[in-house]
Amino acid sequence: MSAPGKPFALRGRTLSFCDDPFRVRPDEAVRANDDGAVVVADGRIVEVGPAHETLARHPGVAVETYGADALIMAGFVDSHAHYPQMEVIGSYGEQLLEWLNVYTFPAETKYSDRQYARAEADAYLDFCLANGVTTASVYCATYPTSVDALFEGALERGMRMAAGKNLMDRFAPAALCDTAETGYRDSKALIDKWHGRGRLSYAVTPRFAITSSPEQLEAAGALWREHPTTLMQTHMSENLAEIAWARGLYPDAPDYLGAYERYGLIGEGANFGHCVHLTEREIARLTETGSGVSHCPTSNAFIGSGLFDMQGLRDCATPLSVGLATDIGGGSSMSMFDTMKAAYEVAQLRGYSLHPVKAFWLATQGSADVLRVADRIGNLAAGYEADMIVLDLKSTPLIAHRMRTANDLFEALFVQMILADDRAVRATYVAGRKLHDRDEIRAEG
C-alpha cells in the first residue's frame, strides 16, 4: 500500500459535518460536494471543497480521481469492540452471561501466547481497514501480551487506537483472572509503555462490575485519576439478569452505575458499553458528568439483550454522548453499514426513525466524541487527521439498481446503510496513507 509523500488530493463526491444532526436539521449538519476535492499534507486534511476551486489553490498537487459514484468521507470510528472475540463471532444460541462462559472466556485464554495474540491482532486490524474502520476502542484479554500485540500492530499501521487489558478478578476461569494489585500494576506498566505513543491511547478497562471486585474497581478508579488523559471503558446495563446480579453484588449502590460512580469511574472519557436498561438517575448522572455510552445494536439483538433508546438518550433536550459500536464478537458484523442498519431497525422497533445523516454522524463524530477525539478525527474537514474512506455508491448490482432512483444525498446514504457491506469500501486512508485498496486486492486475488 502507498506511503506518505508529497501533498496529494482525492477527487469525488465529498461528505463533511458542520454541526450535530441531533441538534440541527440534517440538511444543516452536512456539507457535500457532488464534485469535490480533499487536499492532504503531512497526514492532515488541508482543505475540502468544490474540486475546481480547491485544486486551483493547490497547483501541481497529485490528484487521485474516484469519480461521481464514489463518496469520500471520514473513516468510521468503532467505540466498543473485543478483538479476542473475533474468532467466536457468529456463535450460536446464548445470552450474555452464558455467552461469556461458553464462548468468550475459552477464546480469551489463548491470548497469553504472544505469537497467537499478534496474529489475531493483525487480522483484526486488517478487517477494520477493509471495513473502513480507522479507529476503535478495544477490549483486549487480561494478559498484557494481548495489549502489546494490538498496539504493536496499530503503531505499525499508524492507526489511532484506544485499548486496555481486561481487569477481572472474580467469576471467571482462574487462568483469566488477575487481582486488584496485579491488574493495577500491569495496567500502569502498559500505560507507561503505550499511552500517547504514536496515535495510541490507553483505556483503563474493568470488564464490568460483576467480574471486578470492589477492591479492583477501587484500584481502577485510582489508576484513572493518576492518568487523567487515559480513557475508561466498561460494560453496563446490557442484560436484565446481569443487572440483577450486579445490584446484588453492590447492594449499597443506588443502581448499576452507582457501583462505578463510588470508585470514580465516571466522567469525561468514560465509555459505558450497551446501556440498554438505564434508570432515570443513571441517565441524569451520565449526562451531568459528560460520560459517554456505546450503542451496540447487532450485539444487543444477537444476544437478546434489549432495545437501546436512541431517541430518549440522544435525540432529546439533554442528550448523552453516544457512539456506535460493532461489539464483536457478541456483535455479528465488523461492518459499520450492518451496525447502522441494526441501529435503524432497533430504533424502528421503539417507534423512532433514525435519519441516515444521524447514523453516519454516530459512526464517525459521535464515536469520536465518546473517545474525546472529535476535534481530531471523524470528520472530513481542514485540520483533521487524514483518516478517510472512499465508498463505492454502486458496489453491488442491487445497490446500483436502487441508486438509479435515489433522489438526493440523504436517500443515497440510506441505501448504503441498509444495503452495503465491506465491498462498498474502495479505499481506506490512515493519516494520509492508503492502507486498504479494494481494487488492488481484487487484482491480486
Which of 93-97, 341-345, 372-376, 392-396 shows the lowest mean pLDDT across its residues?
93-97
User: Which residues, 6+ apart, have CB-to-CB distance to 278 below 8 Å?
Assistant: 237, 257, 286, 309, 313
**Residue 1 reports pLDDT greater than 50:** no
One domain, residues 46 and 178:
no
Question: Would residue 297 count as lying in a domain?
Answer: yes
In a domain, 363, yes or no: yes
pLDDT for 444 equals: 65
Phi, psi (deg, nearest 5) at residue 293: -130, 155
In a domain, 195, yes or no: yes
Q: Is the same domain home to 435 and 420?
A: yes
Q: Is residue 3 part of a domain?
A: no
Q: What is the CATH number of the domain that holds 429?
A: 2.30.40.10
Residue type, 444: E
Q: For residues 146-174, give the mean pLDDT.
A: 97
Write down the pLDDT at residue 208. Answer: 95
Q: Are 45 and 73 in contact (CB under 8 A)?
A: no
Q: Is residue 2 part of a domain?
A: no
Answer yes or no: is pLDDT of 3 > 50.
no
What pLDDT is recorded for position 228? 98
Identify which of 121, 120, 137, 216 has the alpha carbon closest to the alpha carbon of residue 177. 216
Chain CA centroid to CA 130, Å: 15
pLDDT tens digits, 184-223: 999 999 999 999 999 999 999 999 999 999 999 999 999 9
CA torsion 424-429-435-438 (nearest 10°) is 20
State the average pLDDT over residues 247-267.
97
- State pLDDT tens for residues 259-312: 999 999 999 999 999 999 999 999 999 999 999 999 999 999 998 999 999 999
Same-domain pairing of 201 and 338? yes
pLDDT > 90 in the chain, percent? 91
What's the average model confidence in pLDDT over 79-102? 87
The residue among 319, 350, 370 that closes a domain is 370
Q: Say how many CA atoms lie within 13 Å of 275 toward its Cβ.
A: 33
Q: Are 322 and 62 in contact (CB under 8 A)?
A: no
Task: Give the integer Cα–Cα distance in Å for 287 and 314.
Answer: 10
The residue-averaged pLDDT of 94-112 equals 87
What domain range includes position 93? Answer: 76-370
250 and 195, same structural domain? yes
Q: Where do the H-state alpha helices sit in 158-292?
A: 180-194, 214-226, 240-249, 256-261, 280-289
Does 2 score more than 50 pLDDT?
no
Pairing of strands 133-139, 160-164: parallel
Q: Do 58 and 182 fall into the same domain?
A: no
Who contacts 334 (Cβ-Cβ below 8 Å, separation ≥6)? 86, 89, 127, 128, 131, 133, 326, 328, 422
- Are 435 and 289 found together in one domain? no
Number of domains in the chain: 2
Asked if residue 283 is part of any domain, the answer here is yes
- Does residue 1 lie within any of the structural domains? no
Give yes or no for a contact between 354 and 377, defined as CB atoms under 8 angstroms apart: no
Same domain, yes or no: 338 and 412: no
Clarify whether residues 234 and 383 are in a common domain.
Answer: no
- Tens digit of each residue's pLDDT (9 = 90 or more) over 203-213: 999 999 999 99
Q: Domain ends where: 330, 349, 370? A: 370
- Quick check: 106 pLDDT over 70? yes
Number of residues assigned to the chain = 445
Asked if 86 and 217 sit in the same domain, the reply is yes
CA 371 from chain center: how many Å?
A: 9
Confidence bin at 443 (pLDDT 50/70/90) = low
Average pLDDT over residues 421-443: 93
CA angle 273, 276, 278 (to 5 degrees): 100
Q: Which of 336, 370, 404 is the last residue of a domain?
A: 370
pLDDT digits (tens, 9 = 90+) for 123-138: 999 999 999 999 999 9
Task: Please state, rounded to an integer, the average pLDDT across all residues of the chain.
Answer: 96
> Alpha-carbon distance 267 to 287, whole Å?
9
Predicted local confidence at residue 6, as pLDDT: 86
State whether 144 and 214 are in the same domain.
Answer: yes
Contact 300, 307 (CB under 8 A): yes
Helical spans, DSSP H, in 94-198: 96-99, 105-108, 114-130, 144-157, 180-194
CATH label of the domain that carries residue 356? 3.20.20.140
Note the helical H segments in 12-143. Answer: 26-29, 51-56, 96-99, 105-108, 114-130
